[in-house]
Amino acid sequence: MQKICLLGATGSIGRSTLDVIAQYPDQFELVSVAANASVERMAEICHQFQPKRAVMGSKAARDQLASLCAGLPTQFEYGSESMESIASDDCDQVMAAIMGFAGLRPTLAGIRAGKRVLLANKESLVTAGRLFMDEVTKHKVTLMPIDSEHNAIYQCLPQSDSGVTKRDVDKVLLTASGGPFRTYSYDQMKTVTPAQACAHPNWSMGQKISVDSASLMNKGLELIEACWLFDVTPADVQVVVHPESIIHSMVSYKDGSVIAQMGNPDMKIPIAYGMTWPARIETGVEALDLFQVSQLNFEAPDLERFPNLKLASEAWYLGGTAMACLNAANEEAVAAFLKGQLSFLDIARLNQQVLERSDIKVVNDLEVVFEADEQSRVLAQQLIASEFS
């Protein structure tokens, strides 16, 4: 029996994880959950799974949840210390599926407690990079990438007892759907709405990652994520736009072989793989019907219309806090876009300005990362209120 702590239980990844857990009640036990504010959804989860501990983002949300769940054996808590506490409490695996930088501390708590960490929350790895990976090594943690592309790369790399190696690898081929605006002209992209940006052609996901997919910032974050996870640089990674999202990424080898991982686009596949690796279980996802797919297409990314991808690569080479600054700017930009305060194309402009104006520091401890995050958010807000209003 594997005991699971689920951070970000009420989100899209949270829902798919619960679906896998519910299919195998004799293999997985949900012992703790965390979410920010979705009290009603969290109450449903608590009634169904009866976890030992449930943590919300605020006292008000905790109190509301407790009253909706009166009589359950669950302990109801709130705040980031409790989120860190459940990640290091009695459990075997931590699913890190909180959205954004807010997931960093609880994810690190799971790593420091030596749990198997299932990493969906890419922003925590992107911002804390080297420190994050050093903790993984120090605590001998099995870090399973849940992001579908990185999970695919993991499946395509040579496997060892403790994970994967880079033996004989030439390049990592990171696929991208291209998002809902792949075929839009620059002029058409000027006026797109949040609803259009959130309507992803192949995946149903949370709002923030959906906007990131539309702006290709998601691919930028994933480029950095791949560099940290697999110990490569952006020069070793080729982004390949593949609109069908059937190939989830590939690895090319020095002998000319290319190995791809394919499947219907459903996050239950990478989630279940992360939970049971090196074994596999049935997920309930429909088998891939290649005759129905019939064609797979590939194209190069357009860095003119989607400059975020270039910015991510620049941030990697700048190093230090540059990736935390870019991520913070982007989180503020996406939130402002969703509120109608920023146009879609301004997301990348704002990201660029914040990155250019940030004082990049060497990361020798976590506090430096938190300071960079805070300063970049303030700068982004100032720019939104002045130059972008």
Is 202 known as a binding-site position? Answer: no
Region binding ligand NAD by CB under 6 A among candidate stretches 114-122, 178-186, 252-260, 285-293 = 114-122
Is 376 known as a binding-site position? Answer: no
| Contacted by 97, from ligand NAD, Mg ion, none: CB < 5 to 8 Å by type | ligand NAD
Q: Is residue 205 near ligand NAD by the rule CB under 6 A?
A: yes
Q: Is residue 375 near ligand NAD by the rule CB under 6 A?
A: no
Region binding ligand NAD by CB under 6 A among candidate stretches 5-13, 162-170, 245-253, 341-349 = 5-13
Range 139-178, binding Mg ion (CB under 5 A): 147-149
Judged by CB, which is closer to ligand NAD: 136, or 388?
A: 136
Q: Where does residue 363 fall: left (phi above 0), alpha (psi -120 to 50 degrees), or beta otherwise?
A: beta
Is 14 known as a binding-site position? Answer: no
| Contacted by 35, from ligand NAD, Mg ion, none: CB < 5 to 8 Å by type | ligand NAD
Give residue 109's Cα distance to chain centre.
Answer: 17
State the nearest-atom distance from the C-beta of 151 to ligand NAD, in Å.
9
State the nearest-atom distance from the C-beta of 257 to ligand NAD, in Å.
27
Q: Taking Cα atoms as reference points, which of 44, 57, 171, 145 lies closest to residue 105?
A: 57
Is 82 known as a binding-site position? Answer: no
Nearest-5° angle of CA 194, CA 321, CA 14?
45
> 3-state secondary structure string, the chain?
CEEEEEECCCCHHHHHHHHHHHHCCCCEEEEEEECCCCHHHHHHHHHHHCCCEEEECCHHHHHHHHHHCCCCCCEEEECHHHHHHHHHCCCCEEEECCCCHHHHHHHHHHHHCCCEEEECCHHHHHHHHHHHHHHHHHCCCCEEECCHHHHHHHHHCCEECCEECCCCEEEEEEEECCCCCCCCCHHHHCCCCHHHHHCCCCCCCCHHHHHHHHHCHHHHHHHHHHHHHHCCCHHHEEEEECCCCCEEEEEEECCCCEEEEECCCCCHHHHHHHHHCCCCCCCCCCCCCHHHHCCCCCECCCCCCCCHHHHHHHHHHHCCCHHHHHHHHHHHHHHHHHCCCCCHHHHHHHHHHHHHHCCCCCCCCHHHHHHHHHHHHHHHHHHHHCCCC
Q: Is residue 307 near ligand NAD by the rule CB under 6 A?
A: no
Judged by CB, which is closer to ligand NAD: 13, or 380?
A: 13
| Contacted by 11, from ligand NAD, Mg ion, none: CB < 5 to 8 Å by type | ligand NAD
Is 225 known as a binding-site position? Answer: no
Is 177 known as a binding-site position? Answer: yes
Is 340 known as a binding-site position? Answer: no
Judged by CB, which is closer to ligand NAD: 34, or 388?
A: 34
Site string (49-88) toward ligand NAD, x via CB under 6 A: --------x-------------------------------
Q: Is residue 179 near ligand NAD by the rule CB under 6 A?
A: no
| Contacted by 305, from ligand NAD, Mg ion, none: CB < 5 to 8 Å by type | none
Q: Is residue 122 near ligand NAD by the rule CB under 6 A?
A: yes
Beta pairing partners, 6? 33, 95
Burial class (CB in 10 A: 0-12, 13-18, 19+), 168: exposed
Give backbone dihedrals phi and psi of 24, rounded to 5 degrees, phi first: -130, 65
Q: Is residue 225 near Mg ion by the rule CB under 5 A?
A: no
Is 218 known as a binding-site position? Answer: yes
State the nearest-atom distance from the C-beta of 107 to Mg ion, in Å.
17
Q: Is residue 373 near Mg ion by the rule CB under 5 A?
A: no
User: Alpha-carbon distance 64 to 50, whole Å?
Assistant: 17
Judged by CB, which is closer to ligand NAD: 74, or 388?
A: 74
- Residues binding ligand NAD: number (CB under 6 A): 27
Q: Is residue 8 near ligand NAD by the rule CB under 6 A?
A: yes
| Contacted by 136, from ligand NAD, Mg ion, none: CB < 5 to 8 Å by type | none
Q: Is residue 326 near ligand NAD by the rule CB under 6 A?
A: no
Residues annotated within the binding site for NADPH are 10-13, 121, 123, 206
Name the residues that contact ligand NAD, by CB under 6 A.
8-14, 34-36, 38, 57, 97-99, 102, 120-123, 147, 203, 205-206, 208-209, 267
Name the residues that contact Mg ion, by CB under 5 A.
147-149
